[in-house]
Copies of this chain bind each other. A is one copy, B any other.
């Protein structure tokens, strides 16, 4: 069991409906020392890959991406989830449909911050059905840049997102993959990696 799985067992809370709450250290309150361990681990897993830039999505991906970026010495760009008045000029826009809510959302990045030929590492906190991630991949493709790898903190292995992404040949590294959860016993089972 790795450092992250141990932390999830210690501080994660399983709620009904396959909800895993990790808001005490990952996506509301943020443990920066843990984020640095996450950064070190991604650095190892993407050893030897050329990374020019990290792309993430607001809001909870941003903090992790910024700390991880220190281990790669690259800038971070975060995609926005809806059109903002501060984002003027040419933009790449990906439309993605939410599996859960059946709503359509836009994922947006300014064109000047994603360039043809750039090697991009995608970082996010959670992967479940993967709608946000699909939007990020679409943005990178629109730019003619290349997805060099995908680093996820927690993957819900019982949902489809991870399998789809791996089936398409991307190097997807999830530091913890939850295979099943039991809210009554507050039990979490991880996939052996």
Q: Does A30 contact B (CB under 8 A)?
A: yes
Q: A62-B59, A87-B23 are in contact. Are A77 and B30 (CB under 8 A)?
A: yes
Contact of A66 among B19, B27, B35, B109 (CB under 8 A): B35
Nearest neighbor of A68 in chain B, beta-carbon distance: B32
Chain A: interface residue count, which band?
35 or more
Q: Would you call A78 and B113 a contact (CB within 8 A)?
A: no
| Chain B residues positioned under 8 Å from A88 (CB to CB) | 15, 21
Q: A23-B110, A29-B113, A110-B23 are in contact. Are A63 and B76 (CB under 8 A)?
A: yes
Q: Does A24 contact B (CB under 8 A)?
A: yes
Q: How distant is the Cα of A105 from the Cα of B32 in the complex, in angstroms?
A: 28
- In the complex, which of the residues A15, A30, A80 has the most CB atoms of chain B within 10 Å of its own CB atom? A30
| Chain B residues positioned under 8 Å from A36 (CB to CB) | 70
| Chain B residues positioned under 8 Å from A75 (CB to CB) | 29-32
Q: Would you call B65 and A28 a contact (CB within 8 A)?
A: no
Nearest neighbor of A36 in chain B, beta-carbon distance: B70
Q: How distant is the Cα of A183 from the Cα of B112 in the complex, in angstroms?
A: 21
Please give 7 more A-B residue pairs, beta carbons under 8 A apart, in addition to A28-B113, A63-B63. A30-B76, A32-B76, A59-B62, A59-B80, A60-B62, A63-B65, A67-B67
